[in-house]
Amino acid sequence: MAADGASLSFPDEARGQLDRVLSELVDRAGDVMKTQGRLRALIKANQAVVEHLELAVVLTKIVEAAVELVGAEYGALGVIAPDGALEQFINVGMTPQQVHDIGPLPTGHGLLGALIDDPRPIRLDHLSADPRSSGFPAAHPPMDSFLGVPVRVRDEVYGNLYLSNQPNGRFTVEDEQLVSSLAATAGFAIDNARLFAETQRRQAWSAASAEITGALLSAEQDDSIAILVARVLILASADLVCVVLPTEDPSMLRIANARGVDHDSLEGVLIPVEGSLSGSVIEGKQPRLVNDGVGDRLPLTAGRTLGPIMAVPLIAAGMAEGVLLVARLSGNSRFTAADLEMAANFAGQASVAMELAKARSAHQRMLLLEDRGRIARDLHDHVIQQLFGTGLELQSIAGSLGTGQDSQRVLAAVNTLDVAITQIRTAIFALSTTPVGSEPTVRHRLIDLAGELASTLAHTPRVEFSGPVDLVIVGTLADDVVAVCREALTNSAKHANAEHTSLALTVSNGAVLLAIEDDGIGLKVDPKTRRRSGLANLEQRATRRGGTFTFDSGPDGSRMNWTVPFDLEVASS
The string of DSSP letters for 98-128 reads HHHHH-SPP-S-HHHHHHHHS-S-EEES-GG
* Rounded Cα gap, residues 551 and 539, in angstroms: 10
In this structure, of 8-17, 67-76, 124-133, 201-210, the range with the lowest mean pLDDT score is 8-17
**pLDDT at residue 339, as a whole number:** 82
Q: Is the pTM of this model over 0.75?
A: no
Task: Write out the H or E segment, with its range, that includes residue 558.
Answer: strand 557-565
Cα separation of 151 and 430, whole Å?
75
> Which class does domain 219-335 fall in?
alpha beta
Element (H or E) spanning 370, and its range?
A: helix 337-378
The architecture (CATH level 2) of 439-573 comes to: 2-Layer Sandwich (3.30)
Helix, strand, coil share (%) of the chain residues, nearest 5: 50, 20, 30
Q: How many CB atoms lie within 10 A of CB 81?
A: 15
Of 112-126, 394-408, 525-539, where does mean pLDDT reach its minimum? 525-539
Residue percentage of the chain with pLDDT more than 70: 72
506-531 tens-digit pLDDT:
988 889 999 999 888 776 555 554 44
Query: Can you give the pLDDT at residue 548?
Result: 93
Whether 325 has a pLDDT exceeding 80, the answer reads yes
Q: What is the pLDDT of residue 157?
A: 81
What pLDDT is stored for residue 278 in this prediction?
86
Count of C-beta atoms within a 10 Å radius of residue 238: 24
Q: Distance (Å, rounded) from C-alpha 339 to C-alpha 235?
A: 10
The C-alpha angle 146, 148, 149, rounded to 5 degrees, equals 155
**For residue 198, pLDDT beyond 60:** yes
Is the pLDDT score of 562 beyond 90? yes
Q: Dmax over Cα atoms in the chain, in whole Å? A: 183
**Bridge-partner residues for 554, per DSSP?**
557
307 within 8 A of 277, measured Cβ to Cβ: no
3-state DSSP assignment of residue 9: coil
CA 71 and chain centroid, separation: 51
C-beta contacts of 14-22 below 8 A and 24+ residues apart: none
- CATH T-level assignment (fold) for domain 37-195: Beta-Lactamase (3.30.450)
**CA 325 distance to own-chain centroid:** 6
Pick the more confident residue, 216 or 482.
Answer: 482
> Would the CATH topology of 37-195 be identical to that of 219-335?
yes
- Distance between CA 392 and CA 351 in Å, rounded? 60
Which segments within 230-305 are labelled E, that is strand? 240-246, 252-260, 270-272, 288-290
* Domain ranges within the chain, ordered by starting residue: 37-195, 219-335, 359-433, 439-573
pLDDT mean over 272-299 = 78
pLDDT at 10 over 80: no
- Looking at residue 67, its amino acid is V
Average pLDDT value for the chain? 76
Higher pLDDT, 543 or 43: 543
| CA separation for the pair 344, 498 (Å, rounded) | 57
Alpha-carbon torsion angle 377, 380, 386, 389, nearest 10 = -150
71: left (phi over 0), alpha (psi -120 to 50) or beta: left
pLDDT: is 110 or 405 the higher one?
405
Integer-rounded Cα radius of gyration of the chain? 44
- Confidence grade of residue 346 (pLDDT, cut at 50, 70, 90): confident
Q: Judge whether 305 and 288 are in contact, CB under 8 Å.
A: no
Count CB neighbours of 294 within 10 A: 11
Residue 533: the pLDDT is 46
- The end-to-end CA distance of the chain, in Å, is 153
- The pLDDT assigned to 529 comes to 47
Task: Indicate whether 167 pLDDT > 80.
Answer: yes
pLDDT given at position 563: 93
Distance CA(280)–CA(276), nearest Å, equals: 6
Please answer whether residues 219 and 355 qualify as being in contact, where contact means their C-beta atoms are separated by less than 8 angstroms. Answer: no
88: left (phi over 0), alpha (psi -120 to 50) or beta: beta
On whether the CB atoms of residues 471 and 571 are closer than 8 A, the answer is yes
**What confidence score (pLDDT) does residue 573 get?**
47
Q: What is the pLDDT of residue 564?
A: 93
Q: Kindly report, residue by residue over 277-286, the tens digit of the pLDDT.
A: 888 888 888 8
Q: What's the mean pLDDT in 31-39? A: 55
The more confident residue out of 132 and 75 is: 75
- How far apart are alpha carbons 425 and 413 in whole angstroms? 18
pLDDT tens digits for range 128-144 = 888 777 777 777 888 88
pLDDT at res. 353: 63
What one-character DSSP code corresponds to residue 12?
Answer: H
DSSP assignment string, 292-357: SS------PPTT--EEEEEEEEEEETTEEEEEEEEEEETTSPPPPHHHHHHHHHHHHHHHHHHHHH
